[in-house]
Amino acid sequence: MGKRPNIILMNCDDLGYGDLSCYGSKVNRTPNLDAMAQEGIRFTDFYMASPVCSPSRGGMLTGCYPPRIGFGSFQGQAVLFPGMGVGLSSEETTIADILHDAGYRTKIIGKWHCGDQPEFLPLRHGFDEYYGLPYSNDMGRQIHREQSPPLPLIDGEEILEEQPDQRSLTERYLEQAVRFIRRSNENPFFLYFAHMHVHLPLYAAMPFVERSQNGDYGACVEAVDWTVGAILHELRRQGLQEDTLFIFTSDNGGRGDHGGSNAPLRGMKTTTWEGGQRVPCIMYWPGHIRSGVVSQELLTSMDFLPTFAALCGAAVPQGKKIDGIDCSRLLFEDIPSPRREFFYYRMNDLEAVRTDTWKLHVSKAGVPVRELYNLREDISESHNVYEEHPDIVAQLEKLLEECRADLGDDRTGIQGRGIRPIGQVDNPRPLTQYREDHPYIIQMYDKDEIG
């Protein structure tokens, strides 16, 4: 095996399929990402394991469908909230765990959202360093959430600041990334850069706001693109560009409002229509992987763990089933994806399945449906051909039955045999509490955007 690559995984928050220029946006300028796509691989059929953030992130880190790791729901909620007593179990193995064990230095910058109690934080899951927010940036004190605990900015497991200026966070995150890259030595590194953008509320640094052609939303998108350009600049400066696989994606589909777009897909964040889970994915590793490629092969975030293991000489966890598939050959060869199907879960309800070009919907928000779409011919899921293809429906129904037996399905009352318990702690409490005498730079965020 040759020299093991550094891995940079940049994960945006709520960035939609149509929000980058290279995916069709006419209002957001993303020259650095466009260049990465032109010189690397742009995937058109890439999926996150959930249409909302906590299960999406847990699924990506562990290579598992969220219900398998107990991340289908959180005490009845779709995502984790401050002070909950549940989170990512210490029994689960993450990408950071396997790469750390293989000799990689590991760091996460930005949003974690897999549990805010000490037992669930990143340093307990394979990361050497952590700097960022433990959950969404709308979970601090802001208009309409006046009773929320102050938003904590964490360094390691220490609360560094409460209610930080959100307009400054992207620049502070980039500074952390540059410092981490500059400390590169003989050991390779894994950097998980989990952006705050473009989750509501939309706070971007003023230079981006002043230049934006798409309001605050466009400013946040362009701030993300700026970080990409700055990191690529630093990699070149350190002579690491050809030693580093850089992956860019988003945790779920966009909201479709405030200036965002999932075009040409149907649906949005929280739904199992394509707009909820099909997201941008760009991979860039000059001199190694294919260049200038637009791939329509099926790929998911769960495939990162075994793919990174194959590329980095790391061991895939044994004794626990994962759902990810090693897709490393796709980066080097024009071959079919080894992933043949993908199941769409909304919390613990199995709502749809895709295989090849076909997608069958059987449930929407607890209501049974019968809808079949050919995604190659009908990417916007607008022409239901369920009655025209009973043979395809029967094949996909069989896959759904097998999935229910393994992962369960609350709507049909089936308890899966392959699910594992979520992590739990006794006597949980929020990381912060509001105090009138605390020197907050911003006592209350002034935007009322939530979600």
What torsion, rounded to 10 degrees, do the Cα atoms 59, 61, 62, 66 define? Answer: -10
For residues 316 and 305, is the Cβ–Cβ distance under 8 A?
yes
CA angle 150/153/154 to nearest 5° reads 125
User: Is 383 assigned a catalytic role?
Assistant: no
Rounded-to-integer distance, Cα 204 and Cα 196, Å: 10
Helix (H) or strand (E) holding 59: helix 53-62
User: Which member of 53, 114, 312, 403 is catalytic?
Assistant: 53
Tokens of 316: 């895939």
Rounded-to-integer distance, Cα 233 and Cα 241, Å: 9
Number of DSSP helices (H) and strands (E) in the chain, helices first: 9, 18
User: What are the two backbone dihedrals, phi and then psi, of residue 19, each rounded to the nearest 5 degrees?
Assistant: -95, -10
User: Which member of 100, 113, 258, 361 is catalytic?
Assistant: 113
Peptide bond into 264 cis (omega under 30): yes
| Beta pairing, strands 299-300 & 46-47 | parallel
User: Is 53 assigned a catalytic role?
Assistant: yes
Rounded-to-integer distance, Cα 110 and Cα 10, Å: 10
Which positions are annotated as active-site residues?
53, 113
